[in-house]
Structure 1
Amino acid sequence: MTEREKMLAGELYRPSDPQLAQERLRAKLLFQKANNLNENFRKERNAIYNELLDAGENLTIEPPFQCDFGSNIKAGKNLFINYNCCILDVALVTIGDNVMLAANVQIYAATHPLNANLRNSGQELGKPITIGNNVWIGGNSTICPGITLGNNVVVGAGSVVTKSFPDNVVIAGNPAKIIKTIDNS
C-alpha cells in the first residue's frame, strides 16, 4: 500500500511521504491564494475553494480557511464555512447538505498513536468524520477524529465533540453531551 492508501484506510502512515507532501502543498497554495483575495474577487475566491474541496452547489467559505488536502472533504449543497475554520482531512470528512460551520470551527480527522514509541516514530493516522444534513456547529467548537453527527444536530458554541451523536439533538460542553432533543416534524 502507498502511504496515501494507508492514510485513507485509517492505518499508520508517514506524513513525510513525498506524494503526501506534494498534495498538502497543492492544497496550501490553493487556500492561501483564495484567502488572500479580497471581496472584489469573491467569484474567483469561490472558484478556488470549489477546486480545493469536493462540494455541491452554493459553497460559501469566509477566509481564512485551512485544510490538509481538501480532496478528502466531500460536502453536499449549501455548505457555509465562516471565518478561520480548519479541517484536517487526512481521512474522509463527509459533510451533508445545508450545513453551517460558525467561526473558528475545527474538524480534526487527524490523530496520533497513544503509544509514545509509535508517536515518536513520526507516523500518524486518521479517522473519518461524518456530519449529517442540516447541522449547525457553533463557534469555537472542535470535532474530534472518528465522529459522526446525525441529521439536524446543533452543536453549542465552544463544544468539544469526542463521541458520536444521533439525529435531532442539541449538544454542548466539553466533552459535548446532549442537552435537549429537537422536534423537526
Structure 2
Amino acid sequence: MKGLLFDSNSSENRARRDLVHDRCRAYTRSPSKGHFKKLKTLFNKCGNDVRIEYGFHCDYGNKISFGEGVYLNINCTILDGGDVIIGDDVLIGPNVQFITVNHEIQASARLHKKAYVQSIKIGNKVWIGAGVIILPGAIIEDNVVVGAGSIVTGLLKSNRLYTGNPAQLNKEIE
C-alpha cells in the first residue's frame, strides 16, 4: 500500500518544516529546559517524564504523540509527514529513525515530487535498539524489543524480540 498522498512542498508545509527545523537545531545547540519547552510545544502530545537527548530532528512535530516516560537517545530522527504515535515507557536507542514518508519507485513518476505517508505506531514498554530504522506503516505492539540495526517494515507482535533486516522474530519474551 502506498499510503496517503502528501504534498511536502506546499508553502504551509515548507514554512512549518523551517520553523520546526530551527527549533530542533536550537535544542541540539543548547538542550536547556527553555529550548525543551519550545520543542515540546511542537508535538501533538507529549506525556510527562519525556526525555529527548541532543541531535533530535523531526519535520513537522504536530503529528508526533509521545506517551508517558518516553526516552529518546541521541540523534533520533522522525520524518513525520504521517502520524508517529509512541506509547508509554518506550526506550529509543541512539540513531533511531522513524520514516513515515515514501516516494514513487519509477523515476518518471518521482519527477512529480509526490510523497505518500503511512503512520507508525509504537506500543507500551517497547525498547528500540541503536540504529533501528522504522519504515512507513510499521506497527510495534506492547512489550517488544527490537535489536540494534534492525529494519522494521510491518507488524511486530507483543512480547517478542525481533532482530535483522527486515526485523524477524528471534524469540518470545515475557
What TM-score bracket applies, with the shorter chain setting the length?
over 0.9
Q: Deviations over 1:34-81 (max 9, x none)?
A: 11115xx3x223212211222111110001100110110011111100
Q: Is the 8 A contact 1:31 1:48 kept in 2?
A: no
Which residue type is aligned with residue 22 of structure 2? L
Q: Quick check: 2:6–2:117 contact (8 Å CA) kept in 1?
A: no
Aligned to 2:18: 25
Task: Report if the CA contact (8 A) 1:147-1:162 is conserved.
Answer: yes
- 2:102 corresponds, among 111, 116, 133, to 111
1:165 CA displacement? 1.0
SS at match of 2:30: coil
Which one has a larger percent helix, Structure 1 or Structure 2? Answer: 1
Name the amino acid aligned to 1:62.
E
CA RMSD of aligned residues (A): 1.2
The yes-or-no answer on 1:37 pairing with 2:30 is: yes
> 2:49 pairs with 37, 49, 58, which one?
58
Q: 1:171 aligns with which of 162, 167, 171?
A: 162
Letter in 2 for 1:36: R
Q: How does 1:3-14 map to 2 (within 5 A)?
A: 10-14=3-7
Distance, in Å, in 2 between the alignment partners of 1:92 and 1:13 is 12
Conserved in 1, the CA contact under 8 Å of 2:20 and 2:58?
Answer: yes
CA contact under 8 A between 2:153 and 2:167: conserved in structure 1?
yes
Structure 1: unaligned runs, 5 residues or longer: 1-9
Q: Is the 8 A contact 1:50 1:59 kept in 2?
A: no
Over 6 Å off, 4+ runs: none
Q: How far apart are the structure 2 equivalents of 1:171 and 1:120? A: 36
Helix, strand or coil at the partner of 2:41: helix
Distance 1:119 1:169 in 2: 37
In 1: Cα distance, 2:130 partner to 2:35 partner: 23
Q: Which runs of 5+ in 2 are unaligned?
A: none
Q: TM-score, normalised by structure 1?
A: 0.88
Query: Is 2:144 the counterpart of 1:159?
Result: no
Matching residue's letter, 2:106: N
Q: Secondary structure at the match of 2:27?
A: helix
Aligned length: 171
Match of 1:77 among 60, 63, 68: 68
Greater Cα offset, 22-31 or 109-118: 109-118
